[in-house]
Amino acid sequence: MEKRFTLKDFFLFAAVGAVLVALLVAMYMIDRQWIMMSRMRATMQEQAQDLRALRTDVKALDRRVGSGTLAAARPAATPAAPAAAPVFDRALAASRLAGYASGDWLVRAFGVGLSTITPLVSQDVYASNVQSYVQETLLSRNPDTLEWQGLIARSWDIGEDGLTITFQLRDGVAFSDGRPLRAGDVAFTFDFIMNESIAAPRDRAYLEKIESVEATGPLEVVFRFREPYFNALALAGGMAVMPRHFYEPYLEEPATFNESKGLLLGSGPYRLADPKAWTPDLGIVELERNPRYWGPAAAPFDRILWKVIENDSARLTTFRNRDIDAYTARPREYRGLREDAVLTEQARHFEFMNAVAGYSYIGWNQRRAGEPTRFADRRVREAMTWLTDRARIIDEIMLGHAEPAVSPFSPRSRQHDPAIEPRPFDPDKAASLLAEAGYRDRDGDGVLENEAGEPFEFGLVYYQENEDTERMVLFLKDLYARAGVHLKPVPAEWPVMLDLLGKRDYDAITLGWTSGVETDVYQMFHGSRTEDGGDNFVHFRHAGFDRLVDEARATVREEERMPLWQAVERIFYEEQPYTFLMRRKTLAFVDRRLRNLEVTRLGLNLGFVPVEIFTPGAQQRYTD
């Protein structure tokens, strides 16, 4: 007998469905209430902790008043810290703008998945972006003048011999867990980094110029250098301070620190909700406002988030949906996006080349598996640069939104020798150099072979999610093939690229380096930095180059140092350890709800700390 669906059945299913929906809603509400209760509990615990600390301070003050020692506790000669440090001027000015409001979230995207955000252990600029909101340095650069200004330090004095720098720290600076930041934390940070059991070889390479860091008082710390160093103030002032009470236990179990994913605590305006709990599988990095932040300018956003979205098209779609607040456009899409009426109404666009713009390159590995490669021959490296048509790459792939690079030194820097110009595309010169190196088409198949009959072929590793890079690699494959050189594209995920770099297990790789106001090339190119965590992963060795770099780094007077850097650049030009490709303009779109955006000499202030952008109350989307 056929079973029919009756009205009674309909109401039964509807009732069951209503119950299920009600259960789901109830579960959701309970979950939200649990989250809110957890946050309230954490806040109350912090307030209780702060109240206990305040009571302790009041009792100590009462004892000093009662004993008559209050006046003696602070000598008259002790200078008082300024009410508001210049480093906060821009953020304070933003807080006085019409429409300024605190609240909302700043949501951005990473194009790669982070493997760790633990300081020292992390190796990429993405983790550094996160850390810059959480940990602070003694000094910070003024984005308008590029001069140093005090952050944790209120003042500093450089000894006459240039070998000592004494910093006076601000009183009242505290870590996000409420513990005060003292000179001992600065000294501990240096000792922690220099401890060989800690996986920080890159940082040790930079800090090896420092002989010692000593806390000579609660708020005074002295850096002593082994020898004169041109960038001494930047080196000392740019070291992110790590809280001793949080990181010191890991000296007893360094493997736990070295293998960690998210051990991050500092004195900055933002913090991890749990400084030990972040893991890569979360798919996001989320920071919350530090309620104990010591600075006079409060952090405007309740939270700062980064979502991991590795595909370019997916990032654009997410930006169009207003689920992230900024998008860096590829040149091919930039013009179209500027003319997109919907996007123009939603976002502002920014196009700029800042003073510290980084550069992209192809690195030629000169040694692999303990043996020299074909790229150990300078003539081969130079030939590959003659074969690389940077003008067409910039015109056809970057659509003019880039400039050719000739070295790590910015053309806007005094390190650059203006007489050095980029090599143009010249396949005839390349063929001549390759012939000198023993590469000819010996069997008429259109591919160059060496004297042993081995074809000139190599793998070029590149990040597989970057469409512009992939387009460039395919363009170079065709270009090199016409010259008899077989390029094999090797697309790779970001963690795989980092692993290959660490093992030096590749033929060639294309990547980019960030830059600075004055670039120290020691870590990337000095012959001593080929192993043990150094960034000379192309095995470049040149005795004259090393001597010049050492001399430049030890020359404090700028007028004497710059000719040395220019001599270093000439060796770069002759030796071509990299084929330096280009410096790209930033082509950014930012949601219009974010206010006070400005292009400075350090670039767009979207990621500046102290934070100086905000969302007016009427445009805010998120609430805690």
Residue at which a domain ends, from 266, 301, 318:
266
Residues near 316 by beta carbon (within 8 Å), at least 6 away in sequence? 327, 329, 333
The answer to whether residues 330 and 440 belong to one domain is no
Tokens read off for 87: 């480093």
Q: CB–CB of 247/200 below 8 Å?
A: no
Q: Quick one: 432 and 318 in the same domain?
A: no
Asked whether residue 39 is domain-assigned, the answer is no
Whether 473 and 437 share a structural domain: yes
pLDDT of residue 312: 87
- Assess whether pLDDT exceeds 90 at residue 225: yes
Verify that 426 and 559 share a domain, yes or no.
yes
290-340 pLDDT per residue, tens: 999 999 988 999 999 999 999 889 999 999 999 999 999 999 999 999 999
Instruction: Please say whether the beta carbons of 333 and 573 come within 8 A.
Output: no
pLDDT over 60 at 3, yes or no: no
* Distance between CA atoms of residues 38 and 277, nearest Å: 15
**Residue 261 located in a structural domain:** yes
Q: Return the structure tokens found at 535.
A: 């960034």
In total, the chain counts a number of residues equal to 624
Give yes or no for a contact between 297 and 610, defined as CB atoms under 8 angstroms apart.
yes
> Is the pLDDT at 608 greater than 70, yes or no?
yes
| 102 class by beta-carbon count within 10 Å (0-12 exposed, 13-18 middle, 19+ buried) | middle
Asked if residue 14 belongs to a domain, the reply is no
Residue-range definition of the domain harbouring residue 615: 82-113+283-352+588-624
Within a domain: 277: no
Task: Mark which of 207, 236, 266 sits at the end of a domain.
Answer: 266
Number of domains observed in the structure of the chain: 3
Task: Give, as one character, the DSSP assignment of residue 80.
Answer: P
pLDDT band at 34; cut points 50, 70, 90: very low
CB atoms within 10 A of CB 358: 18
Assess whether 535 and 473 both reside in one domain: yes
Q: Which two tokens stand for residue 418?
A: 């203006």
Q: How far apart are the C-alpha atoms of 247 and 189, rounded to whole Å?
A: 9
- Mark whether 242 and 169 lie in a shared domain: yes
Average pLDDT over residues 440-457: 95
Side-chain-side CA neighbours of 307 within 13 Å: the count stands at: 18
Domain shared by 394 and 472, yes or no: yes
Asked which of 19-23, 263-267, 612-616 is least confident by mean pLDDT, the reply is: 19-23
Residues 282 and 165: their CA atoms lie apart, in Å, by: 42
Claim to verify: residue 443 and residue 498 sit in the same structural domain: yes
Paired sense of beta strands 586-591 and 457-463, if any: unpaired
Q: Is the same domain home to 425 and 546?
A: yes
Residue 24 has pLDDT above 70, yes or no: no
Task: Supply the pTM of this predicted model.
Answer: 0.81
Asked if residue 273 is part of any domain, the answer here is: no
Residue 272 lies in a domain: no
Q: Tell me the pLDDT tens digit for each residue of 86-126.
A: 999 999 999 999 999 999 999 999 998 899 999 999 988 89
Look up the CATH number of the domain holding residue 131: 3.40.190.10
Contact 451, 435 (CB under 8 A): no
| H runs (alpha helix) in 415-466 | 427-436
pLDDT at 542 over 50: yes
Same domain, 363 and 425: yes
75 phi/psi in degrees, rounded to 5: -60, 145
Q: For the residues of 224-270, what is the DSSP string, one character each?
A: EESS--TTHHHHHHTPPP--HHHHGGGGSSHHHHHT-S-----SSSE
**What is the SS3 assignment for 502?**
helix
Confirm whether 151 is domain-assigned.
yes
For residue 15, the model assigns a pLDDT of 64
Say if residue 255 is in the same domain as residue 145. Answer: yes
The answer, yes or no, to whether the previous bond of 201 is cis (omega within 30 of 0) is: no
Question: In whole numbers, what is the pLDDT of the chain averaged over residues?
Answer: 89
pLDDT of residue 70 exceeding 60 = no
User: Which comes out higher in pLDDT, residue 22 or 488?
Assistant: 488
User: Could you give phi then psi for residue 209, rounded to 5 degrees?
Assistant: -70, -20
CA 554 from centroid of its chain's CA atoms: 26
| Contact indicator for 118, 263 with CB cutoff of 8 Å | yes
Whether 2 is in a domain gets the answer no
Give Cβ neighbours of residue 272 (< 8 Å, ≥ 6 apart): 134, 262, 264, 265, 278, 286, 287, 288
Least confident of 37-51, 226-240, 438-452, 569-583: 37-51
Angle at 22 between CA 17 and CA 23, to 5 degrees: 100
- Residues 94 and 227 grouped into a single domain: no
pLDDT at res. 23: 66
pLDDT of 68 above 70? no
Percent of the chain with pLDDT over 90: 79
Supply the DSSP symbol for 97. Answer: S
Place of tokens 């200004």: 149
Cα distance from N-terminal residue to C-terminal residue, the chain: 59
Chain center to CA of 157: 29
Handedness of CA 403, 405, 409, 413 (dihedral sign): negative
Domain closes at, from 204, 231, 266: 266
For residue 156, give the nearest of 145, 143, 168, 172 by alpha carbon.
168
Res 472 pLDDT > 70: yes
